[in-house]
Chains A and B, each alone.
Chain A
Amino acid sequence: MTSPASVVFDHIFYAYTPGRWVVQDICLEVQPGEIVVLVGPSGCGKSTLLRLVAGLLIPTQGRLLLDGINTSTLAPEKRLVGWVPQSYALFEHLNVRDNVAFGLRMRRVAKEAMSRRISEMLELCRIAELADRPVTQLSGGQRQRVAIARALAVSPRVLLLDEPLAALDPQLRAAIRADLQVLLRASGVTTLFVTHDQEEALAIADRVAVLQAGQVEQFGTPQQIWQSPANSFVAQFFGGATVLTARRIGPGRVRLAPGLEADVPLHCDDQVVQVAVRSGDLELLPEVSPSTEAGQFIPMTVEFAGDAFRITGELIGAGRVTLLHNRPVIPGQRYPVRAKPGHILSTVGQCPYCNQARDPSQSG
């Protein structure tokens, strides 16, 4: 059994055509056994990073270290890295068992060890009862498990999953995601997981790398990414936050808009702060009570979202925000709005004075 490896991207650049960088200056360190999710919009270079680790592409510049060893020129068949592309790329002419056995056969593993390893993998991925089926007869979720079993069978040092849930029905996705997480934890393999779905990233990752236009925007735990997004792109990508410029009015307190104050994890003296406002942060007040201070909100669109209405509109003096409300509202009319009591909003970016990400756990 190979032990999981660390993966280090050391100033990695890659271009398919000269001069047009698909990824530029990527620096990431992935610990052995860690699940790191690479997330970002289409075309941000996340799949390219997986192909670089698999050895299917060679970095134009920079070093890629597996277990501390530079692999830039190591052939893919010698890397011991399992790659599961988005299409799963199952061998359609083979049945489930032979798909799983493929890597072991290519490496000429002894018969007995091979059949033991195959049953182990079929068991782990819960496809033992499908072993003799042609892969063309499987459902999407089953195909995914066969692809992962096939990749894990050779005990890879790193497992690369490219949008493994994208091909599945939305109804199944959450359940299969939970299964997949259990499976990855049980196998203990270092995993790089690509997705464009922020919810998936937060659910499954030990750490998340947010990519945009071939660069890392932020690398941190899901909590760090959610609570202190490094910039407005990360804030908007996670939870569809609106970034508003707020003015500090006291320790840990800012004014978002005229009459609208909120608590933020702020422990230095910046006068102007970027605040991420998500749909769960604000609430509409019941009809005007002049005594309480409130902001002014004019709804523009109202969408029914099942347990609430998702309302997008203008926060007077600040900008466009989205919030949830339990009753429909009339577009164009003014409503009083406030931050949910006891709720701490996220701030965006690094504090220029402390020069560190604002850690919400320290602000109480």
Chain B
Amino acid sequence: MKPLACKRQHAADPVTAIGQGFTLAAVILCLAPVPLLIVVATTVNWPLGFWAGGVTTNWLWQGWETVRPYALFSLRLACTVLAIDLAVGLPAAWLIARHNFIGRQALMALINLPLAIPGIAIALALILAYPAARASGLLLLLGQVIYTLPFLVATLVPALAQAALIEREAVACTLGASAMQRLWYVTLPSIRSALLAALILVFTLSMGEFNVSFFLFTPLNKTLPIELYSAYITNRVEVAAAITAIFLFFVVPAAIAIEWLGGSKIGQA
């Protein structure tokens, strides 16, 4: 009865049991605010308790009306950031992954630098450097690009550096594929998952970015998280909860998609 013996041994291991207990506690701790948020957002008068005065969708509607213009702006901004990141980050990742040129380390350090610098510092540096560009919202875009680019590059470099991919490209080359054909028919399909995951990651980061955006937004260029913040300090708690729930609605599907595309592998060589 070997399997049985195995099972008993497993259950008796105190380290595993403690570990599982902690994991479960952490998961509950992290997820508990979500149902609570939905309860608050659907309660008529939250200060009096759970669903005090009945269940309503009014707050959600009111919240949506408040944030709708900002949500659409945030979506547009995220898509623009995505396009710029891709145009800059894909060639940069390819260079770093494939070529051992002088300054390669420097380029990597430069791209990764924003990870080590607080968002506030990035924002202030941009304001000091380009004061004239602030009103146009250009700085907001630039700040988000600087903030998200390292994540895109870090996800793409290991995918592009795979020896198996380089060999496939070499085979394609001997089969008569030109450089453009190799990129289109071999490289991009091979890094499809990593590329998609990177794009969703950038999208999610841009949608949720607060630090940089808080210093760079203008009344005409205001993102969803900034509006969420002002809702919290100016509105009823029910509306704030409703807006937060709406925000989750934008971000959670993207996060799940990253995991589904092999997000746990991202960043590993």
Residues of A within 8 A of B (CB): 54-56, 76-85, 87, 89-93, 102-103, 105-107, 150-151, 154
Contact = CB atoms under 8 A, between A and B. Distances in A.
Given A85-B171, A89-B171, 18 more contacts: A54-B170, A56-B170, A56-B173, A77-B174, A77-B177, A78-B176, A79-B174, A83-B171, A91-B172, A93-B192, A103-B176, A103-B177, A105-B185, A106-B172, A106-B178, A107-B176, A150-B171, A154-B176
A77 B173 contact: yes
18 contacts: A54-B170, A76-B173, A82-B175, A83-B170, A84-B171, A85-B167, A85-B170, A87-B164, A91-B168, A93-B189, A93-B192, A102-B185, A103-B175, A103-B176, A106-B175, A106-B176, A106-B178, A150-B175
Contacts of B181: 106
Contact of A54 (B174, B176, B189): B174
A208 to B, nearest CB: 24
B190 interface: yes
B186 interface: yes
B174 A106 contact: no
A93 B172 contact: no
Interface of B: 164, 167-168, 170-178, 181, 185-186, 189-190, 192
Q: Which of A54, A79, A89, A93 has the most CB of B within 10 A?
A: A89
B175 A89 contact: no
Contacts of B175: 77, 82, 102-103, 106, 150-151, 154
Contacts of B178: 77, 106
B176 A87 contact: no
Nearest to B173: A76
A76 B174 contact: yes
Contacts of A105: 185
A55 B174 contact: yes
A54 B172 CA distance: 12
Contacts of B190: 91-93
Given A92-B190, A93-B190, A106-B181, A81 B168 contact: no
Contacts of B177: 77, 102-103, 106
Contacts of A91: 168, 172, 186, 189-190
Contacts of B185: 102, 105-106
Contacts of B186: 91
A83 B175 CA distance: 8
Nearest to B181: A106
Contacts of A151: 174-175
B157 to A, nearest CB: 20
A83 B192 CA distance: 25
Contacts of A93: 189-190, 192
A197 to B, nearest CB: 22
Given A89-B164, A93-B189, A56 B172 contact: no
Contact of A102 (B167, B170, B172, B192): B172
A55 B181 CA distance: 18
A89 B170 contact: yes
Contacts of A150: 171, 175
Nearest to B179: A77
A106 B164 CA distance: 20
Nearest to A160: B174
A71 to B, nearest CB: 13
Contact of A81 (B164, B167, B174, B189): B174
Contacts of A82: 174-175
B128 to A, nearest CB: 46
Nearest to A51: B170
